[in-house]
Amino acid sequence: MTPSPYPVVRLKPKAQARTIRHGAPWVYDNELVTDRRTKNLQPGTIALLEDAERKPLAVVAVNSNSRIMARVLDRDVQAAIDGNWLRDRLARALALRERLFEAPFYRLVHAEADGLPGVVIDRFGDVAVIQPNAAWAEGLLDELCAAVVEVTGVKTVLKNATGRARALEGLDEENAVLHGRAPDGPVPVPMNGATYMADLTGGQKTGLFYDQRPNHAFAARLAQGARVLDVFSHVGGFSLVCLAQGAQSAVAVDGSQAALDLAAEGATQTGVAERFETRRGDAFEVLTEMGKAGEKFDVVICDPPAFAPNKKALEAGLRAYERVARLAAPLVAEGGFLGLCSCSHAADLSKFRGASVRGIGRGGRTSQLIHTGFAGADHPLHPQLAESGYLKSLFFRLV
């Protein structure tokens, strides 16, 4: 075997090498020998991972400043992590999306599940937005950008540096235009028959949440002729698709006026503005006020931010999800539908479902769980990484 050009890092004797051989993508800091040489490796250094018996396991990216100290890039120990390697991974990811979608609006790369750990890339037609959430990707950002342009043919590549993950890797929060020219304004995104407006330079995350696409479509099937309430609506995710598919009316509630303005523009672009209204305010306060006023809707959907982004926040997060369900349930007309969503990977499906059911019961309602939804196929799940299956959407019929 040709000697590796990369420095070596090694598992501790009690670390489970077989988990890496079987596909586990992460090595934590307590599993690696952290001698002075290893600690002095620059964050993002590509290295050869060996087991305690010095047998090569994988090519990894190392960051001694991170709890996830090594991320598996390739189990081929002879792999060279370069432009060709990046192009191969991107081409594989693109082939899946082109099979799934007719138009180039999707998540192109979903981190570990697409073999590019810590890297998220969303595509908006001729624009790609990269979130390099791991130090190795930041170090190879120029090569990654060039590979994205070559493989996809996009005209513009933006870097989005927001989010908790980059802070955990010790990375900056500076957005940038990596290639081409930033869009002059929000970009229209067609999805499920509606048009959404995505702010790619100043909006949340990469500008739009593609993960809810199949759950939007399911909600729209319930909403024909219905009065819809879309809480934590962002740019109108559920409300616009429901209106596009025949809802009688929709109210979008969010704390961000900028997001609601984009939702209103999306309603205009979709041709449903006359049936759409927005309400800015704290979601819990708005739900409370609507309950006191006795307002009723045929479909109520709540898609809050991650209340439990980590294990420390789990109990408080579950209480918040229960509270959402308790406040939302009384607003649903008899025989109507309640959709509750969670993007907290720390709150697994069982815990989230339990909190939701408790909340519905405390809200004085009886329910049937009719559908459980997850992220779309452009957000594939890594079989050995529960965090990649973060999104849960529960749809109840209330009686």
Q: Which of the 8 DSSP states describes residue 104?
A: S
Residue 85 has pLDDT above 70, yes or no: yes
In terms of DSSP bridges, do strands 392-398 and 367-373 run parallel, antiparallel, or are they unpaired?
A: antiparallel
Residue 367 has pLDDT above 90, yes or no: yes
355: helix, strand or coil: helix
Q: Which of 313, 321, 319 is nearest to 338 (CA)?
A: 321
In terms of DSSP bridges, do strands 156-159 and 176-179 run parallel, antiparallel, or are they unpaired?
A: antiparallel
Structure confidence at residue 213 as a pLDDT band (50, 70, 90): very high
Residue 388 has pLDDT above 80, yes or no: no
Residue 237 has pLDDT above 70, yes or no: yes
Segment 94-123 mean pLDDT: 97
Q: Give me the DSSP letters along 64-77.
A: TTSSEEEEEEES-T
Q: Report the distance separating Cα 274 and Cα 45, nearest Å.
A: 55
Residue 313 has pLDDT above 80, yes or no: yes
Q: Report the distance separating Cα 391 and Cα 384, nearest Å.
A: 16
Residues classed as catalytic: 343
Residue 2 has pLDDT above 80, yes or no: no
Q: Report the distance separating Cα 94 and Cα 338, nearest Å.
A: 35
pLDDT of residue 57: 96
* CATH architecture of residue range(s) 8-74: Roll (2.30)
pLDDT of residue 15: 82
Residue 69 near residue 63, CB atoms below 8 Å: yes
The pLDDT tens digits for 132-189 are: 999 999 999 999 999 999 999 999 999 999 878 888 888 999 999 999 999 999 999 9
Q: Report the distance separating Cα 212 and Cα 315, nearest Å.
A: 25
pTM, full prediction: 0.95
Q: How far apart are the first and last CA of the chain?
A: 67
Per-domain boundaries in the chain: 8-74, 83-179, 187-398
The pLDDT tens digits for 24-80 are: 999 999 999 988 999 999 999 999 999 999 999 999 999 998 999 999 999 999 999
CATH superfamily of 83-179: RNA methyltransferase domain (HRMD) like (3.30.750.80)
Residue 204 has pLDDT above 90, yes or no: no
Residue 338 near residue 360, CB atoms below 8 Å: yes
Percent of the chain with pLDDT over 90: 89
pLDDT of residue 1: 67
Segment 262-283 mean pLDDT: 98
252: helix, strand or coil: strand
Of 2.60.40.420, 3.40.50.2300, 3.50.50.60, 3.40.50.150, the CATH number of 187-398 is 3.40.50.150
Q: Report the distance separating Cα 37 and Cα 362, nearest Å.
A: 57
Q: How far is CA 183 from CA 103, 154, 178, 187, 264, in A?
A: 19, 13, 13, 7, 20
Q: Which residue carries 């059911």 as its tokens?
A: 357
Residue 205 has pLDDT above 80, yes or no: no
Average pLDDT of the chain to the nearest whole number: 95
Q: How far is CA 250 from CA 214, 241, 276, 287, in A?
A: 19, 10, 5, 15
The order of strands in the sheet holding 127-132 is 105-110, 119-124, 127-132, 156-159, 176-179
Q: Which of the 8 DSSP states describes residue 11?
A: B
Residue 228 has pLDDT above 70, yes or no: yes
Q: Which of 290, 370, 295 is nearest to 338 (CA)?
A: 370
Helices (H), 4-82: 17-21, 36-39
Q: Report the distance separating Cα 170 and Cα 173, nearest Å.
A: 10
Instruction: Quote the tokens at residue 240.
Output: 């616009």
Q: Which of 40, 43, 247 is nearest to 135 (CA)?
A: 43
Q: Report the distance separating Cα 237 and Cα 212, nearest Å.
A: 8
pLDDT of residue 203: 75
List 229's β-bridge partners, or say none. 251, 300
